[in-house]
Amino acid sequence: MTETLEIPQIEDVIAKLGTLPAMPAVVMDLVASIDDESIDMEQLTHKIERDQALTSKTLRVANSAFFGLAGKVGSIREAATIIGLRSIRSIALASALGGVMRREGDKAMLCHFWTHAFMTAVAGRELAGRVGVSAEHAFVAGLLHDIGKLAVAYFYPDIEARLEQYCKDHAASWCEAELALGMPTHGQIGSALARRWHFPEPLCAALDDYHADCDMPLARLIYVADLLAACHAAAGGERIFINEIDEHAWHAVIHDERDLQRALCVMHSAAEMAVCMV
């Protein structure tokens, strides 16, 4: 007999999110600066370098194959000079996010989670110009797009296990499993968490809507980047269940074969970046 689980409402989940430790001040400063075009390199690099753990993790990601530096840089300032200030800010945010909602024994799960997140982020960043959105917003939204799933795994492991089992038993997508169990969507949970962390509202709204039939360019972009990341995983042998593809969103982002090849190409190096996170 299947055990009956009490399914939380979105208000219950938001209350749980409120029990998470506050983000370090340096991370909140980075979030606040996302839309600040006037921030200078000295100011930003100094903020990151105040946190030794964040500096170390940021440099590990910056020195990964994706950025082509291969261990060549030893300081935040040097990395910012080579790959750009916005890239460093995005990497630092990613590095900080990798430390939230983690427990002993979760390394394999977290590595899988962040590999998909990085694949989505780099594909979104590569295609951002196609829909006229900021490459940095695309990268950060890609990193955060499934953060609601991580919250469910952290606060409600029994429900996460039930969702996974439903997907396997019914060849269903995660969204279909959430609907069947009456669970708040991971988009709703993720956007609530992003708002708690004071990310820009357009980014929070995109997290809430990226699986929906939405006209928001950033949401469409993340939908397509997420789909590409899932297909990349499926090509590697992972069992993936996908809802019917929204062709309108697909063609709004992927204009021709070259777009598709560019996105697929940058995703190959995402796994190394994910290992740096955990």
Q: Is residue 71 part of a domain?
A: no
83 within domain boundaries: no
Quick check: is 220 in a domain?
yes
**Residue 267: pLDDT over 60:** yes
Mean pLDDT of the region 156-175: 93
Number of domains in the chain: 1
pLDDT tens digit sequence for 193-237? 999 999 999 999 999 988 766 789 999 999 999 999 988 887 766
CB neighbour list of residue 63: distance below 8 Å, 6 or more residues apart: 69, 70, 71, 72, 73, 79
pLDDT at 266 over 60: yes
Residue 1 pLDDT > 50: no
Predicted confidence at residue 278, as pLDDT, reads: 67
Q: What is the pTM of this model?
A: 0.90
Query: What mean pLDDT do residues 55-70 have?
Result: 80
- The enclosing domain of 134 has a CATH number of 1.10.3210.10
pLDDT exceeds cutoff 90 at 44 = no
The residues near 164 (Cβ < 8 Å, ≥ 6 apart) are 177
Give the separation between CA 258 and CA 260, rounded to whole angstroms: 5
Q: Determine the residue type at 270.
A: A
Q: Is residue 51 part of a domain?
A: no
94 against 177, higher pLDDT: 177
pLDDT at 104 over 80: no
> Is residue 108 predicted with pLDDT exceeding 80?
yes
Q: Is residue 81 part of a domain?
A: no
Domain hosting 137: range is: 10-22+103-277
Mean pLDDT of 45-60: 87
78 inside domain: no
Look at residue 63 and tell me if it is in a domain. no
- 169-178, Cβ contacts within 8 angstroms, sequence gap of 24 or more: 171/241, 172/241, 173/241, 173/242, 173/243, 174/149, 174/241, 175/211, 175/243, 176/241, 176/243
Which of residues 2 and 215 earns the better pLDDT score?
A: 215
6 or 4: which carries more pLDDT confidence?
6
Per the model's pLDDT, the better-predicted residue between 238 and 150 turns out to be 150
The residue with tokens 């979104």 is 124
The 10s digit of each residue's pLDDT in 8-24 is: 999 999 999 999 888 88
50 located within any domain: no
